[in-house]
A and B are shown apart, each in its own frame.
Chain A
Amino acid sequence: MTFAVGSLVKARGREWVVLPESDEQLLVVRPLGGTDDEIAGIFLPLEKVEHARFDLPDPNLTGDYLSARLLRDAVRLGFRSSAGPFRSFARLAFEPRPYQLVPLLMALKLDPVRLLISDDVGIGKTIEAGLVARELLDRGEVERLAVLCPPQLAEQWQAELRDKFHIEAELVLPGTAARLERNASLGQSLFDLHPFVIVSMDFIKSDKRREEFFRTCPELVIVDEAHTCAFAEGRGRHQRHQLISGLAKSPNRHIVLVTATPHSGKEDAFRSLLTILDEDFANLPDDMTGSENEKHRRRLAMQFIQRRRADIRHYMQADTPFPEREEGEDTYRLSPEYKKLFDRVLEYARETVRDVQDTSKNQFHLRVKWWSVLSLLRSLASSPAAAAATLRNRAATAEAETVQEADEIGKRTILDMMEDESAEGMDIVPGSDMGGEEEEAVANRRKLLDMARAADALSGEEDEKLSKAIKLVNTLVKDGYRPILFCRFIPTAEYVAEALRKSLPKGVDVVSVTGMLPPDEREARIAQLAESEKHVLVCTDCLSEGINLQEHFDAVLHYDLSWNPTRHEQREGRVDRFGQQKKIVRVLTYYGTDNQIDGVVLDVLLRKHRTIRSSLGISVPVPVDTEKVVEAIFEGLLLKSKPSAMDNYLPGFEEYMKPTREDLYGKWDAVTEREKRSRTLFAQETIKVDEVSRELLAAQEAVGSGVDVASFTRNALQMVGASVQAKDNLQVDVTQAPQGLKDLLNQSLGSGYKPIFSARFDVNTKEGEYFLTRTHPLIESLSSFVLENALDPLAGKDIKNPARRCGVIRTKAVEKRTTVLLVRFRYHIIKEKRGEENKPLLAEECGLLAFTGSPQSAEWLSKEEAENLLQASPDANVNPDQARDFVQKVIDGFDSLRPYLDDTAKQLGEQLLDAHQRVRLASRQRGVQTHVEPNLPPDVLGIYVYLPKGS
């Protein structure tokens, strides 16, 4: 006996739906009204399975208005796989914001999907990429997925995919790859074994692995922080670019590139990313403006999306609650002792640089020295601990062999200028000891060590920067904030954390996270920290990129200024992003008034950057070739100004700086201007707003919109015996509720679940509250519990079973007896590609059908009229005997209703097909045939009769 996919079978004393994964011997089934977690396999040769019919409701179990409505709502909220344009929507653990659908709609118009998502920091690019992946998986277009990302983001990707998209992905990192490969049999790669993987980009890019990966790579690849793969100089970048462009060569491979900074100031790099999308983009004209280039722009806009926060804040009426950013600045002055050391170091620096300049014509030697003194200044401005470490360590640049190499290392470790390099390894102290054993070097080293001892003595009381910062943190904590302090160097972070731990009040936890910790341990530390109510995180820039910290933190203090304004943007983006629950996040820029470095950086770079951001709404990175300007500024600081100038800017210094600054600003403004133009050029033109709203509406209809989630939750919880207290939030105690519900909640809400919790239905959730939407796991569990019990013929009339499948109310809303049928339609979507049949997808839809009069003389109402009936409220009571008789009449006459039900099933099937294909324009062109087959007869879940209320 064979069982069609989607049909009902009876086995083990209950009813099941046959799922597509079944084969001739093994039936994969889900209990009727059950969840995906309850899917079971039945081995046919061993167990008896029969076709089942879905029974009509029992008229002896009529319910009142409330219990009948409960079932209707539960059905509409609790659907597993839904019809509508998107296959994936019922599997999402969150409600996507309308603007987040735009990349998905774009992707569905492409085949292969090649998309560059460059939305602003904190908008939810991960979610947008995840949506694309989930939909392609659920449409059966791809079976395997790989996410390429920097290793430190791998865990976060894994968690996001698991928690939001129910995709269980394996991590492929240097540490795990060997283990995963061991499990693969001969000739099988780990990518065959694990359909969903998250791969460290740096691991897979190596020449050795790359070739194999080209062969085994999954059909869908998401590349996070894609700007690091743009074509550019440098070995690491080159390998990454090779990797991605190699992957792009396969014409069937879907690639989603994700980055917040596709330009990074370099036009070439951006162009090289575009060629990943389409090789033809290499031929795009340099200047894209003008009406003659309209077609190019249109072409590009199909695959490239870049939106600012302001663009989406009010997208389609759905206000997205991004937090307000409250920016502040605070300053400190160096203590006399500290200043003395500063002067000493500066003097040393001047000497060194001058010496080298005077005595040696060796460019290389000059550069190395130059970088080492700069790094010394930098670390001294950070903290005594960082300074001491730098003074004692061997200079990083001492390893360099050429001028270029020295410059690259220097820029990276000191100037923060390597825009598109990942933040990994940046927080190591640079070191200042040039090494060597000759006499001069030894003397130099002695000098350095002497200064190091002086630096050691400064920690604690003498460190004004620290003591003022402690006060600031204290205020933040008192105001209810949970701040992150960003430091530049590892020793600084550890030093600050130590001091905070000592001086903050009890109950405030402080943890430092630096590049010293492996990425997975960083997350563990943060998770542990988040458990305490008040906490402070001290970290380096290793946490400044990509990581979601908005759930547990809501303020940022820049303990050390980064010299790269984009870095600031990214640090702040950790807390100021989609999903932040605080309405206001605080950002404090903290700098010294009398250490000139901070002043210059702030003046020249950060403030300018902020001005641009506030006027344009996006951050424009510092034009890259202006590194030289920054260098020049410091050259000026070191060489031209006299020792006496240390108190403040000397007029002379100011004058010296002016032209270089003007030059920088000029270039910067030019880039800004170009950016502004490109924004308007690449504005989203391909996806119309009404298109999004149409699809969203269609998707929402399928997932039970129109149900008052709040009243459903309250009533359902109350009716199963949980105690519910509705104030401005909902305080729920499910200790009294049936064990079945508690188990479900435990499963769906995960580790944080407690039987007593609070929740609310608007976005103003506080820490520890659930924000309940119709797709929240809690609502899902609750509705499936209600539904499952109502459909279980053995459940009886117990408290565990508050909902009723049939009911009769008397209402003024009708003038003639009207019957509403709550029907579940089951379909399978079969896709044929060149004669080859893919495994069918299962879609379920619930529909309301209503007719007036007796079943034999039924006059059917339109969908809207049927929907409206759900709003009808009872106006008089119905005698229970009468209720039973009226439901019985409908059941007795049900044969006359069947033809209409079957017709509707077929009709809806066609609509489903249309919706399914409408959004996926691209695949229709490639000889793929899709058809939808309804499973007849549809299941009648509920029968509700509305009687007119006489005078």
Chain B
Amino acid sequence: MPIADTGDGIATLQAKHCPACGYFHPESTGNQDRCERCHAQLDPPITPLFRLQNVSTRRRDRISSDEEERMRQGYELRTAIRFQETQTGDLSAQSAKLTKDGEELAVLTYASAATISRINVGWRRRANPSQLGFVLDIERGYWAKEKDEQKDEQDNALSGRVKRVIPFVEDTKNSLLFEPATQLNEKQMASLQAALKSAIQIKYQLEDSELSAEPLPSSKNRKIILFYESAEGGAGVLRRLLDDAQAFGDVAQLALQLCHFDPQTGEDQLRPEGSDEDCEAACYNCLMSYYNQMEHGLLDRKTIQEFLMELSGTVAKTSPSALSREEHLRRLHNLCQSDLEHEWLDFMEQRNLTLPSHAQKLIESCHTRPDFLYETDCVAIYVDGPHHEFASRKERDASQTDCMEDIGHTVIRFDVKDDWEKIVVKHPHIFGVKS
């Protein structure tokens, strides 16, 4: 079992899970008040999360009706996603708008190697829905029974032999978020998820197990559909839905076909080809599959016919993707006005630290042009040469700092005589120092 840094108990962490889009904010990434992806206000963190790394299971020779019951019951899983960060500290994701006749229908966001966390908050039908997690025997490393916790409570409240934790696992996967521009209802989202998943599989000839789809932020509150390449190493297909402007339109057409609609006219053909039974809401030829049994009650192909028809003619307009690190660095270098600034950039580059987003950008309200700027974090960098030693210059610098701080910017000065290393280490979150 992983032990906490303090040596006291097991290593747990807390994280905020965006209630609007399911974006994941572990505490180590800072004290966010708002979601980094969608800017919704965040709830108090989920705690204590316990990452399962190695687990061993015991073989059962016979399955009793107890186990059957448990299978049927299932767990309540929450899915959370977190994108990689770019060299400037921004979220590394590329988005594309699906538009038809200038009207925006949905937004696609592609993130390569995004971290996907699956959090198991407890039995689906637990007695107290607000109580999350499971009881873990932290001395022996077994999952304990609920009643052990209570027993423990009575015997000696401080023994701490068992602890309630919320287990989660994480993995990095190429992911695609599909976010309709207008809010669709639960049925529509569930049906759309099934239809699009199958359609993407058909288009790129994937196995059912190679692509996964999850509702975000939760199955009770479906706002976004998360697709990820679940096969080891990924299949590399999701990216193509953005790169090829027509690709998503094709997927929508396939989905229509799959749902027994004529992709051109939208006419309901009532049944799949070669079948002698009509499909009312969903069948194993269209939306249903073995894997989405839990959602079968929600699936209804007719609810999404209209939306798919609109989607089938869309074009994906991709936002400019982030520059490569080399290219970004080169641009920054070009803007530098002194050798000291070049030196500073080299210093950052050598240590593979987060690069500033801008150089020599004018901050109008303070009449200053910081040497470098981390725009999202509101951090201004001044790399000061020897002439900043003069008293008059010092005074001007101080008042400038005040002004910058009043508008909410942090000013960090790298004096030529300072130990730059120390300054950087002091601000690990700004410069991306890995501990």
Contacts and interface: CB of A to CB of B under 8 A. Distances in A.
14 contacts: A64-B32, A64-B33, A810-B408, A816-B406, A854-B406, A876-B34, A878-B31, A879-B429, A880-B31, A881-B430, A882-B430, A889-B405, A948-B407, A948-B408
Interface in B128-187: 128-132, 149-150, 153, 157-158, 164
Contacts of A363: none
Given A723-B131, A854-B402, A881 B31 contact: no
Contacts of B153: 735
A294 to B, nearest CB: 60
B121 to A, nearest CB: 11
B36 interface: yes
Contacts of B386: none
Interface residues of B, number: 36
Contact of B131 (A64, A736, A742, A886): A736
A62 B31 contact: yes
Contact of A877 (B36, B150, B379): B36
A877 B33 contact: yes
Interface residues on A, range: 35 or more
A748 interface: no
A816 B404 CA distance: 10
Contact of B31 (A721, A723, A816, A883): A883
A857 B410 CA distance: 17
A47 B5 CA distance: 37
A947 B408 contact: yes
Nearest to A807: B31
Interface stretch (B40-48, B258-266, B287-295, B304-312): B40-48
Contacts of A853: 402, 406
B44 A950 contact: no
Contacts of B36: 877
A66 interface: yes
Nearest to A718: B44
A816 B406 CA distance: 5
A886 B430 CA distance: 14
**B47, B48, B158 — most chain A CB neighbours (10 Å):** B47
Given A817-B406, A877-B33, A878-B30, 14 more contacts: A65-B33, A723-B128, A725-B128, A735-B149, A799-B47, A877-B34, A879-B30, A879-B377, A879-B430, A881-B426, A881-B429, A882-B377, A886-B410, A948-B408
A949 B132 CA distance: 35
A809 B130 contact: no
B378 interface: yes
A190 B405 CA distance: 68
Nearest to A804: B31
B394 interface: no
Given A852-B406, A882-B377, A886-B410, A877 B129 contact: no
Contact of A816 (B132, B407, B410): B407
B64 to A, nearest CB: 29
B41 A799 contact: no
Interface in A844-902: 852-854, 857, 873-883, 885-886, 889
A396 B426 CA distance: 94
Nearest to A70: B44
A715 interface: yes
Sort A-B residue pairs by CB-CB distance and give the 10 closest, nearest first. A874-B33, A947-B408, A64-B31, A725-B130, A881-B427, A723-B131, A65-B33, A723-B130, A882-B410, A880-B30
A63 interface: yes
A602 B131 CA distance: 58
A459 interface: no
Interface in A154-174: none
A152 B160 CA distance: 50
B428 interface: yes
A877 B30 CA distance: 9
Given A723-B132, A731-B130, A880-B429, A885 B34 contact: no
B31 A882 contact: no
Given A735-B153, A877-B34, A817 B164 contact: no
A879 B379 contact: yes
B428 to A, nearest CB: 7
Given A733-B131, A950-B408, A882 B33 contact: no
A816 B379 CA distance: 16
A733 B41 CA distance: 26
Contacts of A64: 31-33
A719 interface: yes
Given A882-B379, A948-B408, A739 B158 contact: yes
Contacts of B377: 879, 882
A724 interface: yes
A873 B34 CA distance: 10
**A62, A807, A852, A947 — most chain B CB neighbours (10 Å):** A947
Interface in B395-435: 402, 405-408, 410, 426-430
Interface string A731-748: 101011001001000000
Contacts of A886: 405, 410
Contacts of B131: 723, 733, 736
Contacts of A731: 128, 130
**A65, A731, A736, A881 — most chain B CB neighbours (10 Å):** A881
Contacts of B34: 874-877
Contacts of B47: 721, 799
Nearest to B411: A885
B44 A719 contact: yes
A71 to B, nearest CB: 14
Interface string B363-406: 00000000000000111000000000000000000000010011
A851 to B, nearest CB: 11
Contacts of B31: 62-64, 807, 877-878, 880, 883
A947 B427 CA distance: 19
A724 B31 CA distance: 23
Contacts of A736: 131, 164
A270 B41 CA distance: 64
A810 B409 CA distance: 10
A64 B48 CA distance: 17
Contacts of B33: 64-66, 809-810, 874, 876-878
B405 A817 contact: yes
Interface string A384-426: 0000000000000000000000000000000000000000000
Contacts of A63: 31
A729 to B, nearest CB: 13
Contacts of A873: 41
A817 B404 CA distance: 9
A874 B31 CA distance: 12
B100 to A, nearest CB: 31
B410 A733 contact: no
Contacts of B164: 736
B5 to A, nearest CB: 11
Contacts of B408: 810, 817, 947-950
Contacts of B39: 875-876
Nearest to A814: B408
A874 B41 contact: yes
Contacts of A885: 410
A853 B41 CA distance: 27
Nearest to A756: B128
Interface string B93-125: 000000000000000000000000000000000
Contacts of B41: 873-874
Interface string A374-390: 00000000000000000
B373 to A, nearest CB: 11
A817 B407 contact: yes
Contacts of A715: 44
A875 B42 CA distance: 11
B335 to A, nearest CB: 21
B304 to A, nearest CB: 33
Given A731-B130, A733-B131, A881 B378 contact: no
Contacts of B30: 877-880
B261 to A, nearest CB: 41
